[in-house]
C-alpha cells in the first residue's frame, strides 16, 4: 500500500506545481519579448539572428543572456565592448517573470490556463513598450492575441459553462471590446475633434475582451482611462507635457488588462 501511495504521488508531482517553474518560464518569455519589442517595429525577423550586441555585433554567450541575473552580474555593461545595457531589458524580463509567479498563485492548479494567461501577459507587455516607443500597436500582437484568446477560451476559468459556452463568451467579449472602443473613438472625434485613441487600441481591446469577456473589456477601459487621466494630469502638473500632447493609450490598457487576469471587478457594470 505504501509503495503504491509513493508511486501515486511520484506520478502526480509535476513541475507546474512549483512557483520557480513559472518564474523561469516568465523570465524566458520576457527575454524573448525584449527581442520582439526591439525588432517587430523595425520589421526584422524575431528568430534570426540570435542575440547580439547592438554596438559591436558580437553574439551574446548563453551565460551572459540569463534573464535579469546576467544584467545584475554585468552591472548593466556588456562584456564585449562595455556598451551600457538599458535597464529596460531586465525590467521587461522581471515584469513577465513576476507575472508567471502571480498567475501561478492566482490560478493554482489550472495549469493550461496559467500558461495561456502568461503568454498573453508577455504579448501585452510587448504591446505596451512598442506603443510607448512608436505609437503603434502591431497587428501581429493585437490580432494574434484576439485569435489566441478565443481559441484558448475552453481553458479559461473566468468563463462559466461548457467548452462552446466559453468560446461564446470569448467571441462576445471580443466583439464588445471592439465595438465599445470603436464607439468611444468616433464619439471622441466628434466631441473633442481629436484622436484620444487609434485603431490599434480598438484591436487591443477586442483581444482583451476575448481573454476576459465583456466585463473584462469594460473594466479594462474604465481602469485604463482612470490611470491614464492621473498620469496625464501629473505630467501636465510637472510641466513635462502640454495639454495637447499625445500620450499613447496602449500601455494603460495593458496595465488594466493584466490586472483583469487577477481580478474582474463589477465597477457598476450594468449587465453583471
Point out which residues bind Zn ion (CB under 5 A). 53, 55-56, 78, 80-81, 83
Cell of 221: 477601459
Q: Which of 228, 215, 225 is nearest to 177 (CA)?
A: 215
Cβ proximity to Zn ion: between 53 and 179 the closer is 53
Query: Shortest distance, CB of residue 65 to Zn ion, whole angstroms?
Result: 13
Report in angstroms how near the CB of residue 80 gets to Zn ion at its nearest.
3
Nearest distance in Å: CB 260, Zn ion: 40
What residue number has its CB nearest to Zn ion? 53
Cβ proximity to Zn ion: between 53 and 227 the closer is 53
Q: Tell the smallest beta-carbon distance from residue 177 to Zn ion (Å).
A: 43
Question: Under the phi-then-psi rule, with left for phi > 0, alpha for psi from -120 to 50, and beta for the rest, what region is 267?
Answer: left
Q: What is the DSSP string of 133-201?
A: HHS---HHHHHHHHHHHHHTGGG-TTS-SSHHHHHHHHHHHHHHHHHHHHHHHHHHHHHHSS-SS-HHH
Dihedrals phi, psi of 46, to nearest 5 degrees: -90, -5
Which whole-number Å values give the CA distances from 110 to 92, 104, 154, in the listed order?
Answer: 25, 8, 12
Nearer to Zn ion, 6 or 86 (CB): 86
Name the nearest CA neighbour of 181 among 159, 208, 156: 208
Question: Residue 82 or residue 270: which is nearer to Zn ion going by CB?
Answer: 82
What interhelical angle do 199-237 and 250-260 show, nearest 10? 100
Cβ at position 58, least distance to Zn ion in Å: 5
Residue 91 Cβ, how far from Zn ion at the closest point, in Å? 21
Nearer to Zn ion (CB atom), residue 56 or residue 265: 56
Residue 31 or 78: which CB sits closer to Zn ion? 78
Amino acid at each position: 500500500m505504501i509503495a503504491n501511495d509513493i508511486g501515486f504521488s511520484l506520478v502526480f508531482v509535476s513541475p507546474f506545481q512549483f512557483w520557480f517553474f513559472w518564474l523561469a518560464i516568465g523570465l524566458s518569455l520576457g527575454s524573448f519579448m525584449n527581442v520582439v519589442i526591439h525588432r517587430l517595429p523595425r520589421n526584422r525577423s524575431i528568430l534570426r539572428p540570435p542575440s547580439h550586441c547592438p554596438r559591436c555585433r558580437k553574439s551574446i554567450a548563453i551565460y551572459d543572456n540569463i534573464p535579469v541575473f546576467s544584467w545584475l552580474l554585468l552591472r548593466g555593461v556588456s562584456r564585449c565592448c562595455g556598451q551600457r545595457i538599458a535597464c529596460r531589458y531586465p525590467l521587461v524580463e522581471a515584469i513577465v517573470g513576476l507575472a508567471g509567479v502571480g498567475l501561478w498563485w492566482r490560478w493554482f492548479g489550472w495549469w493550461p490556463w496559467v500558461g495561456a494567461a502568461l503568454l498573453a501577459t508577455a504579448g501585452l507587455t510587448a504591446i505596451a513598450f512598442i506603443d510607448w516607443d512608436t505609437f503603434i500597436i502591431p497587428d501581429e500582437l493585437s490580432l494574434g492575441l484576439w485569435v489566441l484568446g478565443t481559441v484558448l477560451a475552453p481553458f479559461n476559468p473566468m468563463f462559466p459553462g461548457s467548452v462552446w459556452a466559453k468560446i461564446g463568451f470569448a467571441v462576445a467579449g471580443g466583439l464588445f471590446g471592439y465595438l465599445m472602443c470603436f464607439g468611444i473613438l468616433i464619439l471622441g472625434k466628434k466631441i473633442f475633434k481629436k484622436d484620444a485613441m487609434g485603431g490599434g487600441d480598438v484591436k487591443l481591446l477586442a483581444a482583451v475582451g476575448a481573454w476576459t469577456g465583456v466585463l473584462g473589456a469594460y473594466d479594462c477601459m474604465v481602469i485604463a482611462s482612470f490611470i491614464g487621466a492621473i498620469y496625464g494630469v501629473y505630467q501636465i502638473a510637472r510641466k513635462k507635457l502640454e495639454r495637447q500632447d499625445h500620450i499613447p493609450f496602449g500601455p494603460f490598457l495593458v496595465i488594466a488588462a493584466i490586472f483583469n487576469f487577477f481580478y474582474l471587478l463589477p465597477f457598476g457594470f450594468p449587465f453583471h
